[in-house]
Amino acid sequence: MTCQIQWSDSLSNSSRWFHLGHRVLSAQPSSLSDFTSSSPETRYYRAVLTPSTNFVWIQPGTFTMGCSATEVDRSAWDGPQTVVTLTKGSWMGKYEATQGEYAAVMGNNPSYFQPPDFAEDLSRPVELVTWDQARDFCAALTEQEQAAGRIPTNSAYRLSTEAEWEYACRAGTKTRFSYGDDPGYTLLSNYAWYGVHTSGESHPVGQKLPNPWGLYDMYGNVWEQCQDYWSDVLPGGSAVDPQGPDTGAVNVICGGGFRSYPEFCRSGCRFFGYGLDSLATDIGIRVMLDPGQP
């Protein structure tokens, strides 16, 4: 099985594990050099089962969430900027969840933009799923993958938090988009299906350029549901592993969709769904996988 090798300088409950590389674990010896270590201090390693090649490891870290007051096309609810620390790494889907993946787990394809013949390619993102249905999909996927032995029993699929989503979308950048500020949106169509560039429908995932961490369609195609309830503003100051409000009538969605104006595709753009039970043809799912602890 393919595993990711991770390292940490501590084994406490709050340990932060960082990506080192991938190895196929078998009966044959395998070695991996750690060029990140420059001191003789003790370092710990673990092998974490890779769910598939369709996931990217998002290591823990600190970033500035939200948009500065001077950012072009900033909305009132895109701030105040908040310094966020994410203490645990997780896997994130390289692509938005597709109709084929959803149907394989849930036994149906609710999407509007699906092929006329169910046997045809189902690589467009799934849509017309409520927030609860998105979470049900994550729970059913967890049960299926654990039963098949493809993920550890203490791992679980879920929706990302709003903070995790923006952190992964920015991929270490501070500009309006992960590829730069692009004030005139002249390059956005290289990365996103949006507005006049879409023919009014979703498109198969992974056809545009990825962000620096290898994530596709973080901008456009379909909005992506987060697990947070909506808040009109960010908390400001600093926060550790923020989860959003305890209750709410709508949830956070991020990334923009195929109907969106370009300003709704910015990394720090925040928006809300139509309601927890609402359906929309431009709102979909991107899953995360918590690796669990050894």
Looking at residue 270, what is its pLDDT? 96
Let me know whether 196 and 245 are in one domain: yes
Let me know whether 88 and 210 are in one domain: yes
Let me know whether 77 and 137 are in one domain: yes
Looking at residue 48, what is its pLDDT? 76
Looking at residue 26, what is its pLDDT? 75
The stretches in the chain having pLDDT less than 50 are 294
Q: Which residue range is the domain that position 102 belongs to?
A: 53-290
Contact of 163 with 84, CB cutoff 8 Å: yes
Let me know whether 115 and 238 are in one domain: yes
Looking at residue 193, what is its pLDDT? 98
Let me know whether 19 and 38 are in one domain: yes
Looking at residue 294, what is its pLDDT? 43
Number of domains in the chain: 2
Pairing of strands 44-49, 90-93: unpaired
What CATH number does the domain containing 103 carry? 3.90.1580.10
On average, the pLDDT of the chain sits at 91
Looking at residue 75, what is its pLDDT? 96
Looking at residue 158, what is its pLDDT? 97
* Residue in the block written with tokens 């379909």: 222
